[in-house]
Structures are given as C-alpha cells and as structure tokens.
Homo-oligomer: A and B are copies of this chain.
Amino acid sequence: MAAAAEESLRKALADKQSAVDNQGNAVRALKAQASSKPEIDAAIEALNRLKLEKAEIEKKLQDCISNGGTDGSINREAFRQAVVNTLERRLFYVPSFKIYGGVAGLYDYGPPGCAVKSNVLAFWRQHFVLEENMLEVDCPCVTPEIVLKASGHVDKFTDLMVKDEKTGTCYRADHLLKDFCNEKLQKDLSITADQAAELKLVLATLDDLSAEELGAKIKEYGITAPDTKNPLSDPYPFNLMFQTSIGPSGLSPGYMRPETAQGIFVNFKDLYYYNGYKLPFAAAQIGQAFRNEISPRQGLLRVREFTLAEIEHFVDPEDKSHPKYSEVASLEFLMFPREEQMSGQSAKRICLGEAVSRGTVNNETLGYFIGRVYLFLTCLGIGKDRLRFRQHLANEMAHYAADCWDAEIECSYGWIECVGIADRSAYDLRAHTEKSGASLVAAEKFSEPKEVEKLVITPVKKELGLAFKGNQKMVVEALEAMNEKEALDMKASLESKGEVDFYVCTLGKNVAIKKNMVTISKEKKKEHMRNFTPSVIEPSFGIGRIIYCLYEHSFYMRPSKDGNEQLNVFRFPPLVAPIKCTVFPLIQKQQYEETAKSISKSLTAAGISHKIDITGTSIGKRYARTDELGVPFAITVDQQDSVTIRERDSKDQVRVRVDEAASVVKGLSEGLKTWEKVWSEFPHHILPTSADD
C-alpha cells in the first residue's frame, strides 16, 4: 500500500513540477511582452498557488517515505538509541579496547551481558542438547587450511570490496550501493516514479549482483568514496577469514574458523561410532567464530567475532521423519514461504504441521527443528509477532541445499536473520570425503536381505591379454568402468554384431572388443546392507544477534512515580535475567542489614544470582536501578520477621516470612512457580503513600 501511495505521489509531484515550470515560463513571457500589471499579477498568483500545491505534495511524499517506505525510521532510530544507551551505560556491552580507541566490530560483554549470554547458552544446552540427547563437541578455532578448502570457505567466503583510489580506505561495495539507493529514495523528492522503481529493484537484488554488475552500477550512479569523494576501484572479492600461520615454520597456513560446523563434520566417523552406529543423531557445538568484516556496522548484529551454536543432525536421506515431530506439529506462527515472497505478500500465521504436509517445508525433521527453534526463541522472550520463519528463495540457496528457512526477528534494523535452519543434503560429508579420502558414510543393515539386480561385467583376461598384450590392464579397467547404459549397449552390439569398437581413454584410442573378451550380465544378488552418505539438517544460531533482538523486545519505558522522568525497564523472563533478585534493607538499620545478608547467603546456597544493596539510596531509586538491569524480583527487608517480594513489571508486592524468602525466589527464578501463583498464595503488601516507587 505504502509503495503504491509513494508511486502516485512521485507522479503527482512530477506533474506539478512541470506545471510550475510551465507557469514560470508563462510569467516570464508576459513580463518580456510587457503585458499589463493585472495580467502579470494574476499569472504570478497562479504560479505561487502551484508552488504551494507542489510543496504540499512534497510534504506528503516525505511523510510517506519516512513512515511507510521505511516503517517509521525516525522512531526506530530514537528507540534504538534509548536501548543502546541503556545497554552501554549498564555495561551489557561496550566497544572492545575502548581506551585504545576501540576496534570496529569487536565488543565486550560486561557483567549483565555476560550473565544474559550464559543464561541463553545454558537454556540452549537444556532445550537442544539435553532434551534431544545430542552429542556435544568442542573443537578449536584455529583450523588448518585444508579443512576450509574442502568446505569451500578458502575459495568462496568473500565479500565484494572497493577501495578509495587515493587513500586506500576499503568499503563493502554492496553497502555503498545500498546507502546510495536508500539516500536517494528517502531524500531526493525529485526522482521520477520510474527512477524510484529502479532503485528499489537494485535494493531487492543487491545480494545477487556479480562484481561486474556492482561495479557497473557504482559507475552509473557516480558513487564515490563517502569520506573523501575520491573515485573508487572496481569491486573485487575479499576473503572474510582471519588468516594466521600454525607452528613456527610459516609453512602451515590456518584460519580462525568462520563457523563451528566443520569441526563436527570432520568428526562424523567417531561420532557415528559413539552413537552405536545408529542414525539419526545430532551433534552440537557452541563456540567462537570469526569473520573479518570489511566495514562492520549495525552494532552487535555484524561483528568480527561472535558466538555460534550449531547443530548438525545426521539423517538417512531416504527417511527424514522425526520421532518427536508430533510434539511440534500443531504449533502456529508467522511463516513466510517462498511463494508469498515472490508474489509480494507478507508473512502469515501458518500451522507448522500443514506446512510440512503440504510440502512447503521439505520434510519432518526440518519442520521439527523449525518448531523447536520457535519454542526456544519465544521462551527467551522474543515477541511472537516479531518473529517469522522465512524460506530461502531459490537463488539464495546453495545448489546442494534441499530447503532452508531463516528465523528472522524484527528489530530497529529491520528483519534480522538470527537462526538458519537448512537441509544441506549430503554436501559437507561428501566434500570432506573427497578432500581427505576418509569414507564418511553410514550403513543400514536390512532386517532381512534384499534382492537387487546388479550389473556384472567380467572381462576375460586371457583373451584380452592375447589381443592387447601390454595394454590389457587399461582395457580391463575401461571395461569395468562402464556405466549401466554403456555396458548394456555393448552387450547388445556384441550379441548382434560379435564385435564392437570401444574407446579406451587411457590409451587415447578405440580398440575392437570381441564377444569372447567380456561377459556382461544382470544378476540378482542378495544384499544385507546399504551404504550411504547421510543428509545433514543444520540449525545454526547467531547467539549475539538473538541477544541483541531480545534486548530490543524486552525494553520499555515508564514514567517515574512523580512523573518527572522516564524510567527504563527490561522485561526479561527470569530464565534470561542477568540477576534474578536484589536484596534491599528498606532503611539503613543494622538489624535489617543482617537479615538482608542472611537472605543473601541462602540465595547463594540455592545458586540464585542476586545482588545486595545496602546503600542509603531511596528504595524507589534502588528499584529503578535494578529494573534497568531487568532484575525480575526484589526482596525488601522492612520488618523484623518478614520481607516483601516485588515483581518488576507489575510492581506488585507480597509479604513473605524471612525464612521463606529465598525459596520463593528460587521457585520463581527457576520457573517452578509463576508470579500469579505467588500472588494468590501470600498476603499482598500495599504500599504506604510515602514510599517513592
């Protein structure tokens, strides 16, 4: 809708502009002809009217671009700034090596960020590794070149780069083109509807452009280096891996791994053995990955070092059912299949089971993981209406992939890919088999032998030896290497003509094969097993991206009690909250402090992370401080033998005996009890009017 409105406004603006131009000409003509003053005045008045009308259309178009075209980018920016300010001020994260000016794309997680991350990872282990009995591994980041040659990263893991031809500063070519198009679309009201449509097309197809196409567009639009306006080089590929050298000789190149998956693939044989030679099974790995981004931006979303959590689920390509599939089949959530994207529709709520049975999702196992990822993300606190599963378009997917869905989360930067769930077929295991020579296959033993028809080619070596002497071996090998069609053709020719010309590539010539030199037959054989390369279904989680989106989804502001300021709150569920509970004596009084310390001890013993704050700051300020860290519960010591427990979002409080306080908070923190339950079980604490919360 917004696009159509924008288009018609651009057209109206162009029309109005030419009307203004025409009228301007008319005024000038009248003046030149020294027409009468009333005539000239009337023409000028008409011109001014047209200019006013044009200004009005311009304003509408500007509004339309700001609100529609980019979904309220001004509000988004302001919201993001509020979140990021809070996150940096409270040390959820900070730019790394700040005292040395920082390094783009590297961030430190401070205490609350680190706690959130470790909670997210612990839940990931519980939800995936433990629940599914996955085989977790832990492999090094330093990786020898040959492994990443096999995986294709050495040759293909690149972004296109351009250089400022004078200063040598590097830029990502697609970023420059993207920025140019966006800027033009948002700020240049003079472009025509057709020009706008072309820019939008460029934006939509940005990821598909070759180096040559990108270079041509950059030239066509006259894009220059953003800082200096110098001309730019042609785009060329830059490998995104951090390179290093293993050992002292300088002869063993290595890289910091760009993903954790390869560590699992190269261990397939051992893991298959560990699993008792049974399929399917999944292996998982959590660890650091590295990408030497050309020019990182978007804060935590595009960084040079990040934590990945990856699963490789190995499965028989002929049976991709999943035993626990029924547990997720009835889930319903936003899905964005390929067809809807191609036909310009938007994501819609679809029942997962239906998507699988209709074939929109390729198979049950892929569907199962989509469902599990949905549950994982929503349990963390990702909003259901801002999470969608988008299927890759045909041109986005690697040629070997059977199907691929991204869990995308909407944040102030737009829809961000946070989890990729791909059926990569047998590609990775085959690539490593080819490079290493190790056979990475699985075997299925048949419950009873199966009868199969097999082609049998038996060269008669004696006859071949007589005929070809020293070349016998090459001829034998060539005969044995025939495929089924070639062999059956030869059989037919030999039967009809008794002799046939046969090209032996190792000899580089034809030889004459006679009937007595080879027997070709189809025989029935009993087979007890089959060997195959397993398919792999890979859910891959960008932990930092998930956490950043979680921050945005959890953040809100509410007025302080006196209404004088806006207070920041993170509504983290207890599962995620960096600290589960704070303990405050209401006022500075020795007895209260001692009670607070004893409750703190019980919480430590129960393994509940908490903070004790015995400063004399007003209780309202202390609450506000911890709301900003997303601490869900606060225990306030305000009486001799009882305390209050406050819930962060409702600000409701209940009164609990001192010796019960730790166990109530433990139950709440570990999800064994809801706040509603606690609210119904304990007496409510009504705030005295003097309290400043």
A residues contacting B by CB (< 8 A) are 90-91, 94, 96-100, 103-104, 106-111, 113-115, 117-118, 125-126, 130-131, 133, 135-144, 146-147, 161, 168-170, 238, 242-249, 252, 254, 256, 263, 266-267, 269-271, 274, 276, 288, 290, 292-295, 304-305, 432, 435-438, 440, 604, 607, 609, 611, 615
Chain B residue nearest in CB terms to A125: B118
Across-interface contacts of A126 in B (CB, < 8 A) = 607
A343 to B430, CA, bound (A): 63
Do A246 and B292 touch across chains, with their CB atoms under 8 A apart? yes
A99-B432, A130-B607 known; A141 and B247 CB under 8 Å? no
Across-interface contacts of A249 in B (CB, < 8 A) = 168-170
Do A274 and B242 touch across chains, with their CB atoms under 8 A apart? no
Across-interface contacts of A304 in B (CB, < 8 A) = 140, 142, 246
Across-interface contacts of A244 in B (CB, < 8 A) = 242-244, 256
Do B133 and A611 touch across chains, with their CB atoms under 8 A apart? yes
Across-interface contacts of A607 in B (CB, < 8 A) = 126, 130
Across-interface contacts of A438 in B (CB, < 8 A) = 99
Across-interface contacts of A108 in B (CB, < 8 A) = 137-140, 263, 267
Count this chain's copies in the assembly: 2
Do B99 and A269 touch across chains, with their CB atoms under 8 A apart? yes
Additional pairs, 15, CB under 8 Å, beyond known A110-B274, A111-B137 = A91-B270, A94-B267, A97-B146, A99-B437, A100-B436, A108-B140, A108-B267, A111-B274, A115-B136, A130-B609, A140-B304, A142-B242, A170-B248, A246-B304, A288-B288
Across-interface contacts of A117 in B (CB, < 8 A) = 138
A104-B247, A141-B141, A607-B130 known; A266 and B97 CB under 8 Å? yes
Across-interface contacts of A110 in B (CB, < 8 A) = 135, 137, 267, 270-271, 274
Chain B residue nearest in CB terms to A94: B270
Across-interface contacts of A131 in B (CB, < 8 A) = 604
Across-interface contacts of A252 in B (CB, < 8 A) = 103
Across-interface contacts of A94 in B (CB, < 8 A) = 267, 270
Chain B residue nearest in CB terms to A435: B100
Across-interface contacts of A305 in B (CB, < 8 A) = 140-142
Across-interface contacts of A254 in B (CB, < 8 A) = 103, 242
Across-interface contacts of A288 in B (CB, < 8 A) = 141, 288
Closest 5 CB pairs of A and B: A99-B438, A109-B138, A170-B248, A99-B436, A111-B135
Q: Is the interface of A mostly helix, strand, loop or mixed?
A: mixed
Chain B proximity of A169: nearest CB distance (Å): 8
A130 to B610, CA, bound (A): 8
Chain B proximity of A326: nearest CB distance (Å): 15
Do B246 and A245 touch across chains, with their CB atoms under 8 A apart? no
The listed residue (B96, B118, B135) touching A139 by CB distance below 8 A is: B96
A491 to B604, CA, bound (A): 61
Q: List 15 A-B pairs, Cβ < 8 Å.
A: A91-B271, A98-B266, A98-B270, A99-B266, A99-B436, A100-B436, A103-B142, A110-B270, A114-B137, A130-B607, A142-B304, A170-B249, A246-B292, A247-B292, A276-B615
The listed residue (B130, B243, B270) touching A604 by CB distance below 8 A is: B130
A269 to B98, CA, bound (A): 10
The listed residue (B142, B169, B242, B248) touching A238 by CB distance below 8 A is: B248
Chain B residue nearest in CB terms to A126: B607
A245-B242, A604-B131 known; A97 and B143 CB under 8 Å? yes
The listed residue (B135, B247, B611) touching A170 by CB distance below 8 A is: B247
Chain B proximity of A252: nearest CB distance (Å): 8
Chain B residue nearest in CB terms to A305: B140
Across-interface contacts of A140 in B (CB, < 8 A) = 96, 106-108, 304-305
Across-interface contacts of A96 in B (CB, < 8 A) = 139-140, 263, 266
The listed residue (B136, B269, B440) touching A111 by CB distance below 8 A is: B136
Across-interface contacts of A113 in B (CB, < 8 A) = 138
A266 to B108, CA, bound (A): 11
Do A266 and B100 touch across chains, with their CB atoms under 8 A apart? yes
A323 to B167, CA, bound (A): 57
A91-B274, A244-B242, A247-B292 known; A97 and B137 CB under 8 Å? no
A97-B147, A130-B609, A243-B245 known; A114 and B136 CB under 8 Å? yes
The listed residue (B103, B139, B146, B245) touching A100 by CB distance below 8 A is: B146
Chain B proximity of A241: nearest CB distance (Å): 9
A238 to B250, CA, bound (A): 12
Chain B residue nearest in CB terms to A240: B248
Across-interface contacts of A98 in B (CB, < 8 A) = 266-267, 270
Chain B proximity of A436: nearest CB distance (Å): 4
A290 to B141, CA, bound (A): 9
Chain B residue nearest in CB terms to A121: B118
Chain B proximity of A279: nearest CB distance (Å): 16
Chain B residue nearest in CB terms to A249: B170
A238 to B108, CA, bound (A): 30
Across-interface contacts of A435 in B (CB, < 8 A) = 100
Chain B residue nearest in CB terms to A578: B136
Across-interface contacts of A290 in B (CB, < 8 A) = 141-142
A97-B266, A249-B168, A266-B100 known; A109 and B137 CB under 8 Å? yes
Chain B proximity of A603: nearest CB distance (Å): 9
